[in-house]
Structure 1
């Protein structure tokens, strides 16, 4: 808030970002008076208090992050955590996009309080599942220039560039980000393929089987990144993850190395869910989007 001259009189103005366009705007709260002066004073005092509390919270967070590093609790790769935080800050995480693939395992193990074996956790990329039918809305504080996935990735790491594939970006270290979406049935039903309307932004590639994930319940957990800081992950339900991975492991046309890893991940997540996440029983309701035969095939893994 600030006082400024408008139409030859001093007026109290409030700055805000339009939630639809992201354009910065101002709203008049009335001419200078004892009431508007009191409003401005309350705002300034509140802003100062909030800044002090934020500073104290950041100090506490940094101290705890140091403890987490000493205890080796950090599991989420730093670059993955930075990408996810940008999606979170932009208001997209869990509201149009989810984290898929191996990085989802960090959410499951954090919720269960255990660690998976390293052979099922190694990854050099992150898959972002785009819900093309979701009503995406960037956070109000985001400027118009930040309303693309590529701009968010560059905020996480300035070296991110698009690869030769329209759905993929990578940074200078070779870390890959893939934007993926389900194959629609029937195929002539068109959906959005990009988070933004910018033609230079990433365009999601259609992948078979993701429609099951899109319809499955979300699962969220707070994990710890490699630097010891918390990161919220929104991923598919672990039961859906295991069923999908088991299906992938039995696809004849899939790379044999990936098939073996898919099965290992399916078994690991199913075992963790059955033993530690007992509030998520293996039942039909959360898996209604999957073919019954796939659900029945995965049931023994949860026993």
Structure 2
């Protein structure tokens, strides 16, 4: 599939949106690291400094009110106001960049995944725990190639894969999803899938080698799929992409070489929906073409070929043959 290189203006705008997004993300993380609130409470004839944990007012005493407590209280108020100001200003700059990218007709991620990815990033879940898989990856691959390839890249669902190799506390994925939209519930018929009140679907996938690193309280509960192991190979793509909700989000996707071969394999599975199989093959070929033409950072060399599992070799050979015939 032919590629259309990004213009210099598009490339500059993408560099800028990443810088601005990271400033916002870091500001948001710093703001969240502060206590929910500090308050002065009077109990009987004494006053105390309280740290408040949530909207319900639950908290704990930090000791009797004195000059030191007052200084701590005032310093907190000042720090929190400054943190909020940084978040608001940096978010405005991200939105400005997103408007420019829309005007420049840069490929954009659908609106619905944006809030999920931003919340996951603020919680550190994109630093080794989650990968975006499926069609939404195409946006990141186009940025990695600095070129557009014309394929449908919007779907009515969002696929993520659990990639952590150590077990975290609690249920970080489910807590993140509920923080984005409290209406998400697990689909009882497909327990690896969650839906919100708008029927938007989020699916969680996992490779057998990572299944044990999911906590028992985590939701949804995916069925380990051997083919997901391929998406853990190589080096992930890490891009900040503009979203149709007027903002941007960080998107971490599998190594494009393994994503493409996985897609070609999916396209050959008879049990899969024929319409999806056709799309899988088109996407797999397009991404491998883009890797060969515009991603030297992901070489298709002898070392890579030597590591291709036997099950995927026919799809690699088929792509090579088709490419040589063009």
Q: Is the 8 A contact 2:193 2:201 kept in 1?
A: yes
* Structural mapping, 1:292-303, within 5 Å: 294=312, 297-298=315-316, 301=320
C-alpha separation in 2, matches of 1:3 and 1:102: 51
**Number of equivalent positions:** 280
Considering fraction of residues, name the structure with more helix. Answer: 2
2:101 aligned with 1:68, yes or no?
yes
Residue 78 of structure 1 aligns to a residue in which SS?
coil
Which of residues 299, 304, 311 is equivalent to 1:281? 299
- 1:222 paired residue number: 240
Alignment RMSD: 3.8
- Structure 1: runs of 5+ lacking an equivalent: 18-23, 139-146
Match of 1:257? Answer: 275
2:177 maps to 1:153: yes
Deviation at 1:284, TM superposition (A): 6.3
Q: Distance in 2 between matches of 1:242 and 1:63?
A: 33
CA distance in 2, matches of 1:272, 1:27: 59
Residue 129 to residue 96, structure 1, CA distance change in 2 (3 Å): same
When the two structures are superposed, what TM-score results if normalisation uses the length of structure 1?
A: 0.74
Residues 149 and 195 in structure 1, CA contact (< 8 A), matched pair in contact too: no
Instruction: Write out aligned runs for 1:1-303 (5 A).
Output: 1-2=38-39, 28=62, 37-73=70-106, 75-119=108-152, 121-131=153-163, 133-136=165-168, 147=171, 149-150=173-174, 152-163=176-187, 164-183=189-208, 191=212, 197=217, 201-283=219-301, 290-291=308-309, 294=312, 297-298=315-316, 301=320
Any idea what SS the aligned residue of 1:223 has? strand
Measured in 2, the distance between the counterparts of 1:60 and 1:181 equals 36
| Structure 2 unmatched ranges of 5 or more | 1-37
* Structure-2-length-normalised TM-score: 0.69
Structure 1 counterpart SS, 2:136? helix
8 A Cα contact 2:98 2:246, kept in partner: yes
> Measured at CA, do residues 173 and 54 of structure 1 come closer, stay the same or move farther in structure 2, by a change above 3 Å?
closer
